[in-house]
């Protein structure tokens, strides 16, 4: 088997590479979800170029963390949730996974809300009714696996809005000198911490770390020849970097284009206002295209949030994600139904989206330090445990996120 694989490996080129990748692209869908739109538009419209650095920092963090999560999945054949149940004391494991499920619920809430706003823009359907309709449709997709059949269509529509923002940024009157400075110079203007944390939470999403390890471990590379597993480790890293760079470009483009609001002293209080940013490129059709993309972004992202919730809950019982299995079903329903219930208590959808992303960043240190514990363990990872350099990078990321959370807490006291 090993010799056959080596012969096949020699033929690997662009076409073969794309057969090995995919999990990173799935995670990238989260880069252009409604929560990201709100966080990035708020950053650009309220602080201009000053918060671009958090997009840079978040993306660097994400590349390292997603690669580490995928590494765990490939080597052990377990997702993070399963590994927690296997290697961490039950009482502590339940606390960790419970907070992770809450993060998935918060994410699903934001995605459902985004889809509902899209329905309101297209058909003038009230937000709460739109949220109910979107939730029913997403649950149906998850339980029937039909999302796989229209995945390319969904990604196509969502990509349209991302590409539109990129072209708009190119055409806009961007001060590239200020932009470059903003990307590399940390700055925390007065009152900006909630938005900084929402951007961080929108990019480095805890549920995506669990999902990445779940999707990639389902291939069970660790059960095959060692050379196959090592090849997958190599291609996974390429997949992760490519996907995260795409996300960085789209996030940055959203911030840059929304600076138009900042220049004109316009306060953004509704996500619908963002359609105005696309009119120079898309003309009068901007509102329709924006609404369709927002609807599909919410649906696509909520599918991944539901999968993550199902995976995390099933992992509590040492089970892999399988929508036909009862623990996965319970996890998916728990995530979706509680997310919908929360929406019925939200009075300001825009702020609801913004604060949901901020809360993700609050849970993030728990996931990061748990992941470090697992991937640093020889018992868990064997010869593939983290190197000293990897541990230094991971602990640094955990420290930065923790400090930012403490600063956020102090700002509210």
CATH architecture for segment(s) 22-412: Up-down Bundle (1.20)
The CA-atom distances, in angstroms, between 14 and each of 19, 185, 213, 257 are 9, 36, 24, 33
- Read off the pLDDT of each residue in 88-115 and give the average, rounded to a whole number: 92
How many whole angstroms separate alpha carbon 163 and alpha carbon 169? 10
Domain spans in the chain, listed from the N-terminal domain onward: 22-412
Nearest to 294 by CA among 123, 63, 48: 123
Going by pLDDT thresholds of 50, 70 and 90, the confidence category of residue 6 is very low
Position 150 confidence tier, pLDDT thresholds 50, 70, 90: low
Mean pLDDT of all residues in 346-357: 81
**Greater confidence, 120 or 412?**
120
**9-35: burial string, b at 16+ Cβ within 10 Å, e else:** eeeeeeeeeeebbebbbbbbbbbbbbb
Per-residue pLDDT for 4 more than 50?
Answer: no
pLDDT category at 1 given cuts 50, 70, 90 is: very low
How high is the pLDDT of residue 34? 78
Instruction: Using alpha carbons, list the distances in angstroms from residue 103 to 75, 161, 187, 257, 376.
Output: 25, 26, 27, 29, 24
Contact 66, 30 (CB under 8 A): no
Q: How many residues does the chain have?
A: 413
The closest of 302, 298, 357, 283 to 119, measured between CA atoms, is 298
pLDDT score recorded for residue 49: 94
The pLDDT tens digits of the residues spanning 230-280 come to: 666 666 677 778 777 888 888 898 899 888 888 878 777 777 777 777 677
pLDDT in tens, 299-335: 888 888 898 899 999 998 988 888 889 999 999 999 9
The mean-pLDDT minimum among 188-192, 285-289, 294-298, 362-366 falls in 285-289
Q: Name the token pair of 87.
A: 């290697």
The C-alpha atoms of residue 374 and residue 329 are separated, in whole angstroms, by 26
Flag whether pLDDT at 38 surpasses 70: yes
In this prediction, residue 96 has a pLDDT band, given cuts at 50, 70 and 90, of very high
Query: 406, 370, 59: which is closest to 202 by C-alpha?
Result: 59
Burial of 55 (0-12, 13-18, 19+ CB in 10 A): buried
């Amino acid at each position: 088997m090993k010799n056959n694989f080596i012969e096949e490996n020699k033929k690997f080129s662009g076409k073969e590479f794309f057969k090995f990748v995919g999990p990173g692209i799935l995670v990238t869908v989260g880069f252009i979800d409604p929560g990201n739109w709100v966080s990035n538009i708020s950053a650009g419209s309220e602080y201009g170029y000053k918060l671009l650095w958090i997009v840079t920092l978040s993306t660097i963090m994400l590349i390292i963390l997603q690669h580490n999560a995928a590494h765990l999945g490939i080597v052990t054949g377990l997702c993070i949730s399963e590994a927690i149940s296997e290697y961490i004391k039950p009482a502590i494991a339940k606390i960790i996974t419970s907070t992770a499920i809450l993060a998935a619920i918060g994410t699903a809430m934001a995605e459902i809300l985004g889809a509902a706003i899209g329905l309101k823009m297209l058909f003038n359907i009230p937000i709460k009714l739109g949220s109910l309709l979107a939730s029913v449709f997403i649950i149906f997709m998850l339980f029937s696996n039909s999302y796989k059949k229209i995945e390319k269509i969904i990604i196509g529509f969502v990509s349209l809005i991302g590409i539109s923002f990129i072209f708009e940024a190119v055409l806009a009157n961007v001060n590239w000198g200020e932009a470059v400075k903003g990307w590399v110079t940390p700055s925390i203007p007065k009152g900006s911490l909630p938005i900084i944390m929402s951007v961080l939470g929108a990019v480095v999403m805890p549920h995506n770390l669990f999902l990445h390890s779940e999707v990639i471990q389902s291939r069970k590379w660790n059960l095959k020849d060692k050379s196959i597993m090592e090849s997958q480790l190599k291609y996974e890293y390429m997949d992760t970097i490519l996907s995260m760079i795409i996300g960085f470009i789209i996030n940055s483009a959203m911030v840059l284009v929304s600076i138009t609001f900042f220049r004109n002293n316009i306060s953004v209080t509704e996500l619908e206002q963002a359609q105005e940013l696309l009119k120079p490129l898309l003309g009068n059709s901007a509102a329709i295209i924006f609404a369709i993309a927002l609807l599909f972004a919410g649906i696509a992202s909520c599918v991944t949030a539901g999968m993550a919730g199902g995976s995390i809950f099933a992992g509590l019982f040492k089970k892999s994600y399988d929508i036909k299995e009862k623990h996965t079903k319970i996890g998916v329903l728990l995530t979706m139904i509680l997310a919908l219930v929360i929406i019925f208590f939200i009075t300001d959808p825009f702020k609801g989206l913004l604060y949901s992303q901020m809360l993700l960043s609050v849970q993030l240190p728990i996931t990061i330090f748990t992941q470090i514990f697992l991937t640093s363990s020889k018992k868990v990872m064997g010869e593939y445990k983290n190197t000293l350099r990897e541990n230094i990078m991971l602990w640094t990321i955990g420290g930065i996120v923790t400090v930012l959370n403490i600063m956020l807490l102090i700002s509210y006291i």
